[in-house]
Chains A and B, each alone.
Chain A
Amino acid sequence: MAQLLQHLINGLAAGTIYALVALGYTMVYGVLKLINFAHGDVMMVGVYMGYATAFALGREMRSSLVGVAIVFAVAMLGCALLGFIIERFAYRPLREKPRLTALITAIGISFALSYGFQLDIGFLPGAAPRAFPEVIAPVEWLVIGDRDVVVWNWQVISFGIAVALMVGLQYLVFRTRFGRAMRAVSWDHRVAALMGIPTDRVIALTFMLSSALAAGAGLLYAIKDTSVSPLMGLYVGLKAFVAAVIGGIGHVPGAVVGGLVLGLVEEFVVGYAASTWRDAVAFGFLILVLLVKPGGLFGRVAAEKV
């Protein structure tokens, strides 16, 4: 029973991170119908920005509240800028080209980032994984029994940050002018442009927002698993993509549910079966969901005129 509870907590911790990354996929897909395969790698770049910032701050500073805020702020702003640059120079010129062109560009950017960061020149970090500094010094928050269930402070803080980011996003999308513009673009960007919505600006802002979210999620991931490597983006990105599709790609609460479900499924498979089955079960689950509900758990299948 205690073990079940512990697995539940671990699964939720992983799931909230998948959910945050999945939100980025879903938002970009919503406005552009583009699967931004570089999303996971943007996240990885954000983690390295946080890593560099944490070291620049020094040991004392980085574990203070202000330090943590600075680490997150630098990484998220830096990634927002990166997202802007990628959108402006890689995707925007291809806006009116067939969708596959942008998709392949996304894969290209993904590889450029994940393999570029394996080089060992200049500011690039090199291929070996590195230990992520303890920005949140681990303290046991709740201990049940003889350490049968342990909840750590960073698990609580991560969960809090993740929920705050999701609530903020929900507010932004459904309660602000920008959110309304974003939803209009996602409905049909040509018609939205005719209505006077600056679609290019909305799309750029969407990219910046999703990249900033990815950086936040990446930092939580690095804090959880105490390491950072140039290939982490490919792995987390793929899982989050699966989460977004399970939830119904393009659907904001769907991405959150998809992420949480995937995190829990993986944890239970590893805890009670074997880790070898984890990816098979995760992708099997995806296929199952798509068989029963082709649009994902929350997605609607729109009839497409041909």
Chain B
Amino acid sequence: MLLAALAVLAAACEKKTQPAPSGEGGPQAAQGHEAAGGAPVDANTILLGQVGSLTGGQATFGVSTRNGIELAINEANAAGGVKGKKLALRVYDNQSKPEEAAQAATRLITQDKVVLILGDVASSNSLAMAEKAQAAGVPMITPSSTNPTVTEKGDYIFRVCFIDPFQGFVMAKFARENLKLDKVAVLQDNKSAYSIGLADVFRRKFTEMGGKVTAVESYSQGDTDYRAQLTAIRKSQPEGIYVPGYYSEVGIIARQAREVGLKVPLMGGDGWDSEKLFELGGSAINGSYFSNHYSPDNPDPRVQKFIADYKAAYRAVPDALAALGYDAARVAVAALERATDLSGPAVRDAIAQTKDFPGVAGTVTLDANRNAVKSAVVLKVEDGKTQYVTTVTP
């Protein structure tokens, strides 16, 4: 009977995808009409799609990304649109679940016939979407999925951020050279491709640089009790703990680490980047470090203008995910403008040509593997804020 109940449960889940309201006041492409070449029906609108984690465990990621994308699209429309047409965005929620992400991507492709898909943040979700986008020949740009396998799905899949091996390398180098640590433990999220990817590279690089990994423990996304793992880690007496997870878990991990008597700094990746980290972690997260795509302290006028615009629109300081969402949408807009027409192959080729594109989270040049090559920053958490520490280049 439990099985039957779970089947019903799963079926109920699938029905939950609600179309989120589009950020555009402008004309919307009518749904359900057949149009040649997958172009939107309304001749004056180019429809872009986004799938994001607007609810669920990584909700702030999806919301930040959507805000960044909306900002870029509004700017583009204010500047006259693309090829004389207005841009519109259709956003679907994936509830932070890969299976929902795949379904939402299919919906954007078959039903809404978008010219291009943006999203998601979590690599597991983007992987599920990339499968669908590649098969349908619809170009997809992920703003911030750093797992290498995402763009390996095929030639229609791009990203405007660096990849996991680089983040793992950045933290290994920082721990070894700046913090001068010899013994580090690793606590990874075994349910997340992102976390496993970062942890693997970190362990390899840190060992290559002469350090020692004392313990490797794991948890599963959604857990709230990490005392068993932390008790085991404490026994191995590390000088630091690498926790490449998401903010929703890391904040609680930090508290419980202090509780079991681990006073060493925690280190992580861009999955930490959320205001919620400070709330969940409280003072326990102070003195920890994470690698990230951008720092709001960057004095570059382009970055400061973006921050000011974002604040005016959403009353919050943009995190890196908002910045990358903004960059991804602007790379997409520039590519659409360059493309000879709006067919999948033409847009794909236009995106692939992106070179030295001035983004707010670093300059974007796409390499032959459709990944962006760019530097990373290391931030330190102090009293509910992040401080810029250093920049690490590839």
Binding site for B on A (CB under 8 A): 3, 6-7, 10, 14, 35, 37, 103-104, 107-108, 111, 115, 118, 126-131, 138, 147, 150, 152, 221, 224-227, 229, 231-232, 235, 241, 245, 267-268, 270-272, 274-276, 278-279
Contacts and interface: CB of A to CB of B under 8 A. Distances in A.
A3 B231 contact: yes
Contacts of B2: 241, 245
Contacts of B190: 274-276
Contacts of A128: 59-60, 248, 276
6 contacts: A221-B224, A225-B225, A226-B252, A226-B256, A270-B229, A274-B218
A129 B280 contact: yes
Contacts of A224: 225
B315 interface: no
A7 B222 contact: no
**A-B pairs with the 9 shortest C-beta distances?**
A225-B224, A127-B59, A271-B228, A270-B228, A147-B261, A127-B55, A118-B55, A276-B190, A275-B219
A43 to B, nearest CB: 13
Q: Would you call the interface of chain B mostly helix, strand, loop, or mixed?
A: helix
A200 B316 CA distance: 51
A305 to B, nearest CB: 20
Given A115-B55, A227-B280, A232-B224, A275 B8 contact: no
B355 interface: no
B308 interface: no
Contacts of B259: 138, 150, 152
B59 A271 contact: no
A74 B219 CA distance: 34
Q: Which of A126, A131, A267, A278 has the most CB of B within 10 A?
A: A131
Nearest to A268: B228
Interface in B115-174: none
Contacts of B217: 274-275
Nearest to B227: A10
Contact of A10 (B55, B231, B276): B231
Given A225-B224, A231-B57, A6 B12 contact: no
B80 interface: no
A138 B282 CA distance: 14
Contacts of B9: 107
B282 to A, nearest CB: 7
Q: Which of B248, B279, B280 has the most CB of A within 10 A?
A: B280
A222 to B, nearest CB: 9
B251 interface: yes
Given A6-B231, A270-B228, A276 B218 contact: yes
Nearest to A119: B55
A10 B225 contact: yes
Contact of A35 (B5, B219, B232): B5
B54 interface: yes
A111 B5 CA distance: 13
A14 B225 contact: yes
Nearest to A37: B5
Given A131-B279, A131-B282, A227 B227 contact: no
Contacts of B55: 115, 118, 127
Interface string B204-225: 0000000000000111101111
A8 to B, nearest CB: 11
Contacts of A270: 219, 228-229
B255 interface: yes
